[in-house]
Amino acid sequence: MKCAVLSDIHGNIRAFEAVLADAKASGADSVIFLGDLVFMGLDPQLCFDLLMEQKPLVTIKGNTDGNLEMIKLKTANALYDEPMVKLVKYADIRMNTQAKKKLADFLPTKHIDIEGLSLLCCHGTPYSDTEGLCQNQPFSPSLAKQLAAENVDIVLSAHTHVPADFQRDGIRYINPGAVGYSLDGDVRASYALLSISEGVATCKIRRVEYDIKHYLKEVEHASEGFKLLDRLVYALTYGRPKT
């Protein structure tokens, strides 16, 4: 089986379409999605519809996907500042009710077995969607113990917007990077092409060109009314988080 492992699309339909075209040309026959589909981008409904068309093996809920549920709580204004509330509402009003309900039902984690290997899919870590598993940072003793107890061969995670493929304590960790906007210094879209056959996994991180200049102009225009989109403009321009 050859899977396109995708994450952090963030409402960027241009990048998403380019990644899917590259995955198809590369022979991918299935999709695994690791979360953050619609928020912090201009086309949340289009991205949702396109993902559903792929009939993905796995659909994980990311931390920003949960924003659309939180915004309906009476405590939302206490949890988020005004620019965040405004941007969440931007995504909320651009998605239909059925799509938002289905998005809310995405799972936080999922175990799957493929061709003799056990995989654990999550957004950040299996225990938090706001923390990441980073190649250049040691795991805490408690996290390492929890992960060892999962008894899996591969952990697929995302959230950091930085692609990675590394081994630690007998477990392989693969992060596909971000489709919607990367934070590793390379502005191209990123995903992982994972091939598994008879208990052996090979992975290639793919970087994909798309019409980022056009998308950047669209985001710059929209950012006049949405302060937080300045962060997206910066990331699309430099491939780094705005500090």
pTM of the model: 0.95
Q: What is the pLDDT of residues 188-211, one digit of tens each?
A: 999 999 999 999 999 999 999 999
Instruction: Compute CA 235 distance to the chain's CA centroid, rounded to the nearest angstrom.
Output: 15
Q: How many CB atoms lie within 10 A of CB 195?
A: 16
Alpha-carbon distance of 78 to 216, in angstroms, equals: 31
Query: Of the candidates 71, 40, 56, which has an alpha carbon nearest to the alpha carbon of residue 102?
Result: 56
Q: What is the pLDDT of residues 38-53, one digit of tens each?
A: 999 999 999 999 999 9
Domain ranges in the chain are: 2-238
Query: Of the candidates 55, 33, 29, 41, which has an alpha carbon nearest to the alpha carbon of residue 229?
Result: 41
Helix (H) or strand (E) holding 86: helix 82-93
- Burial per residue of 47-64, b for 16 or more beta-carbon CB atoms within 10 angstroms, e otherwise: bbebbeebebbbbbbbbb
Which is higher by pLDDT, 232 or 68? 232
Question: HSE (CB half, 13 Å, CA atoms) of 178?
Answer: 30
Q: Which tokens is 71 given?
A: 């915004």
Query: Band of the pLDDT at 68, cuts 50, 70, 90?
Result: confident
What is the average pLDDT value for the chain, to the nearest integer? 95
Contact partners, residue 226, CB within 8 Å, separation at least 6:
83, 86, 87, 90
Alpha-carbon distance of 41 to 62, in angstroms, equals: 14
In this prediction, residues 17-37 reach a mean pLDDT of 98
Query: Band of the pLDDT at 63, cuts 50, 70, 90?
Result: very high
Query: Of the candidates 37, 18, 20, 42, which has an alpha carbon nearest to the alpha carbon of residue 29?
Result: 20
Q: What is the CATH number of domain 2-238?
A: 3.60.21.10
Q: Is the pLDDT of residue 73 over 60?
A: no
Helix (H) and strand (E) counts for the chain?
Answer: 9, 10
Query: Of the candidates 189, 187, 159, which has an alpha carbon nearest to the alpha carbon of residue 174?
Result: 159
